[in-house]
Structure 1
Amino acid sequence: MSMKIATVQLWVHDQDAALEFWTKKVGFQVTSDVTVPEMGNFRWLAVGPVSQPDVSICLMALPGQPIMDDKTQEQVLDVVGKGFAGSVFLTTEDVDGDYARLVAQGVEFVDKPEDRLYGRDCGFRDPSGNHVRLTQLNPDFPS
């Protein structure tokens, strides 16, 4: 099979705030930033780790009418803000070092690095509320 994961999506409240967070604080690079006037100025904004140029996270603004009515949009934003619309799982070779670097950049963590069965792990949320886990995997734990 030749399929690969190229892009995953996170709903965001504000694409510019999400862009600043993921690039300036987390250290990802912009992989795509295209606005399409013919589609109501739809903006395809994606970021990804410098070490993985073929993988990205699309920072997707919630669509309005006719795709999503106001009530549904409000419900989705509420769920995102609570951290239940999706998670991103990042791995690292130095969770404590990356934790310290991200804290220094102003990233607010929901928990500090802690040893777990599968590795050393911590979590933070982006400005929209999306949950992000940062893990240094235990090499002895089955994947």
Structure 2
Amino acid sequence: MRHVALVTLVVDDYDEAIRFYTEALGFRLVEDTPRPDGSRWVVVEPGMERQKGQGTGLVLGRAKDEAQRVRVGDQTGGRVGFFLHTDDFARDYTRMRAAGVTFLEEPRHEPYGSVVVFQDLYGNRWDLLQPAPTA
């Protein structure tokens, strides 16, 4: 079996990114390990109930140079680049709004599920999506 285990998201600051992903989005901090070069290995995963390594996690990588800094918040050219699936759209939408997450539209109910676009603290676009039940 194979699956995508980690995806890197370039950020400005480790601690502010950890706060946003854990407090506003409800991710859990899986690892925060200092590295010899002064960087850190920081991994967060959606949901509190998952076991480490059971889903796709985000490596929060601090930008190291100007080429990386210009990518912070625009890693996908303005497209939705990340898709956060939920089993309870109303619960997560309400909690995220209360936590100050910026939503770019009103929730929509499409044939494929309930969805709304939001931004992370750097401006990357995400879908919060509860897939429609399959027949």
Q: For residues 1-143 of structure 1, what are the structure 2 equivalents within 5 Å?
A: 2-37=1-36, 40-49=37-46, 50-53=48-51, 54=53, 55=55, 56-64=57-65, 70=66, 72-77=67-72, 79-80=74-75, 83-84=78-79, 87-140=81-134
**How many percent identity over aligned positions?**
31
Q: Which has the larger radius of gyration?
A: 1
> What TM-score results when the alignment is normalised by the length of structure 1?
0.79
CA distances 1:105-124 after superposition (whole Å, capped 9, x unpaired):
11111122111121110121
> What TM-score results when the alignment is normalised by the length of structure 2?
0.83
Structure 2: which 5+ residue stretches go unaligned?
none
CA deviation after TM superposition for structure 1 residue 22, in Å:
0.6
Between the aligned partners of 1:105 and 1:132, the Cα distance in structure 2 is: 16
Does the residue aligned with 2:58 lie in a helix, a strand or coil?
A: strand
User: Match of 2:120, as an amino acid?
Assistant: D
Structure 1: which 5+ residue stretches go unaligned?
65-69
CA distances 1:7-58 after superposition (whole Å, capped 9, x unpaired):
1111112221111001111111111101112xx2121111112233323111
Q: 1:79 to 1:105 in 2, by over 3 A?
A: closer
Does the residue aligned with 1:27 lie in a helix, a strand or coil?
A: coil
